[in-house]
Amino acid sequence: MELGGKRPPSQLTLSCPISLEKYRELSECKELLLLSVWNIYDTPFAFYQVADIQGLSGEQSYENVSRKCQ
């Protein structure tokens, strides 16, 4: 996401589309970590954030997850 040097909003939601192969791989995991790297505009610096996310439940199909990401 490019903000052109502007400050991001206090709440920001981003999507992360995944392939069917990756979905199948992740659906077998019970614990997942997400690493985010936020480059600071026009500098060599960055922020790093790690978040625990819930595993994919059996109720979630690839089609439902894929639709939410579009």
Encode pLDDT of 58-70 as tens digits.
566 656 555 544 4
CB 18 within 8 A of CB 65: yes
Amino acid at 29: C
Q: Is residue 55 part of a domain?
A: yes
pLDDT at 45: 92
Query: For residue 31, what are the β-bridge partners?
Result: 54
Give the mean model confidence (pLDDT) for residues 33-37.
82
Tell me the per-residue pLDDT of 36-55, one tens digit each, with 9 for 90 and over. Answer: 888 888 889 998 988 776 65
| 47 domain residue, yes or no | yes
The answer as to whether 25 is a domain residue is yes
Q: What is the biggest distance separating any 2 CA atoms in the chain, rounded to whole angstroms? A: 43
Which residues, including other chains, have CB under 8 Å from residue 60's CB and lie 6 or more apart?
27
What tokens appear for 17 in the block?
């589309």
In this prediction, residues 5-22 reach a mean pLDDT of 79
Average pLDDT score, the chain: 74
Number of folded domains that form the chain = 1
Residue 8 lies in a domain: no
Q: Which residue range forms the structural domain that includes residue 34?
A: 21-65
Q: Is residue 11 domain-resident?
A: no
Asked if residue 12 belongs to a domain, the reply is no
For residues 3 and 44, the model is more confident at 44
